[in-house]
């Protein structure tokens, strides 16, 4: 359905993304869910097609599009037939990288962002910890200044792409103990630094194709030039980044709900009981009408939020 927010170029982009996901990803979905991983070429292929950087500025390797391209990307993700693949790709395109485009130096963009948008490097976002999930102000992973370096110690948990990320957009505590939200900073962290370790790959009840990791940092040294923005302003940057992150999650969730309803209606049209299709029973017609109404309301609320964010 062509909405007033989407222009012709957005719909051409939607067609390209949909065809790629249906032809190159969906046929492997069941295999990758069973294997609990998918190959790196998926990131590279998405980068080659321009899907990872559609709404990023051209000076850092993006296509210079608006945020409606990201909305299309999120809506199309259901066509992958794998929530795990969708999760991993959206972390790459809309969770771990936008803050580097917003705050990064030229050097940081060249070293981390541009390769991520090409699919040459896999990115992860490192905020949650064993004792601090959404409570960002309570993170305990520290970054202590030693000469021209930060020395990082601590742990992160539930990190998507964590087992194979080439770098992490990492939240650390640079302020004094007890400084709360005022003592947090963001850094770009290459995972080839000595002392970094993937502690374990977490077993989940869903999203199997997406790797989710627990990570540890023991005296990991990175140069202070990897600091994103200002020191001790990280909490505000994370909250800013969460707007786009949670918005694409909302758009994607609405699309997933629509897919569930569409497939259920198809099933109840084909499936008969007591001499007629299940869809003909009034109780199901009422249920589906209510669900369709809720999904439509959620879609327009999401679009309104995208419009404001854009």
| Enzyme catalytic residues | 245
Q: Are 151 and 220 in contact (CB under 8 A)?
A: yes
Q: Which of 195, 78, 72, 69 is nearest to 141 (CA)?
A: 195
- The distance from CA 113 to its chain's CA centroid, rounded to whole angstroms, is 15
Three-class HEC string of 230-295: CCCCHHHHHHHHHHHHHHHHHHHHHHHHHHHHHHHHHHHHHCEECCEEHHHCHHHHHHHHHHHHHH
Q: Are 137 and 184 in contact (CB under 8 A)?
A: yes
d(CA 200, CA 210): 14
**Tokens matching residue 46:** 């998405």
The residues, any chain, with a CB within 8 Å of residue 132's CB and separated by 6 or more, are: 138, 139, 140
Q: Are 224 and 152 in contact (CB under 8 A)?
A: no
d(CA 52, CA 74): 11
Q: What angle do CA 68, 33, 82 make, to 5 degrees?
A: 20
């Amino acid at each position: 359905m062509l909405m007033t927010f989407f222009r012709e170029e957005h719909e051409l982009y939607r067609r390209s993304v949909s065809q790629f996901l249906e032809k190159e990803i969906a046929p492997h979905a069941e295999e990758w869910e069973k294997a609990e991983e998918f190959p790196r070429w998926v990131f590279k292929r998405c980068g080659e097609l321009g899907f990872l950087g559609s709404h990023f500025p051209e000076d850092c390797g993006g296509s210079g599009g608006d945020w409606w391209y990201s909305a299309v990307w999120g809506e199309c993700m259901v066509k992958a037939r794998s929530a795990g693949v969708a999760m991993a790709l959206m972390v790459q395109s809309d969770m771990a990288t936008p803050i580097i485009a917003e705050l990064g130096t030229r050097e940081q963009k060249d070293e981390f962002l541009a390769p991520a948008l090409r699919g040459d490097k896999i990115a992860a976002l490192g905020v949650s910890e064993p004792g601090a999930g959404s409570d960002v102000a309570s993170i305990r992973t520290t970054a202590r200044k030693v000469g021209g370096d930060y020395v990082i110690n601590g742990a992160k948990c539930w990190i998507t792409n964590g087992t194979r990320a080439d770098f992490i957009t990492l939240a650390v505590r640079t302020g004094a103990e007890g400084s709360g939200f005022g003592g947090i900073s963001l850094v770009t962290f290459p995972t080839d630094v000595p002392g970094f370790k993937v502690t374990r790959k977490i077993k989940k009840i869903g999203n199997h194709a997406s790797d989710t990791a627990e990570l540890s940092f023991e005296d990991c040294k990175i140069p202070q030039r990897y600091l994103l923005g200002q020191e001790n302003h990280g909490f505000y940057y994370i909250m800013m980044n969460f707007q786009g992150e949670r918005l694409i999650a909302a758009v994607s969730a609405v699309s997933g709900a629509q897919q569930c309803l569409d497939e259920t209606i198809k099933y109840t049209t084909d499936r008969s009981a007591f001499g007629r299709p299940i869809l003909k029973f009034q109780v199901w017609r009422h249920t589906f009408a209510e669900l369709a109404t809720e999904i439509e309301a959620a879609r327009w609320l999401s679009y309104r939020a995208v419009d404001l964010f854009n």
